[in-house]
Amino acid sequence: MLEKAIVCGCSAIGAGLAMIAGIGPGIGEGYAVGRACEAIGRQPEAKGDVTSTMLLGCAVAETTGIYGFIVALILLFVNPWVKQF
């Protein structure tokens, strides 16, 4: 029983650490959008190209946060290590 409690506790800590992965994409996407707004302000005729490139970059950056979220959900709700005890 103690082993299961330790595994559940460590899984909760691991899930919390996995959610830290959401900080990076949030900062990066905010920075990218800010720079895209500056670029559009300097060259309004390039709005379409800047916007499409920014959206593609934000979508790729967001996958890191989504992977961290999925890992956290697996650790909290599926948790393959609990079944061993």
pLDDT at 85: 62
- For residue 36, which of 24, 21, 48, 26 has the smallest C-alpha distance? 48
User: 45-81: per-residue pLDDT in tens?
Assistant: 999 999 999 999 999 989 989 999 999 999 888 877 6
- In the chain, the domains with their CATH numbers are 2-84 (1.20.20.10)
What pTM did the predictor assign? 0.74
pLDDT at 22: 87
DSSP label at 1?
-
pLDDT score of 40 more than 80: yes
**Mean pLDDT rounded to a whole number for the chain:** 90
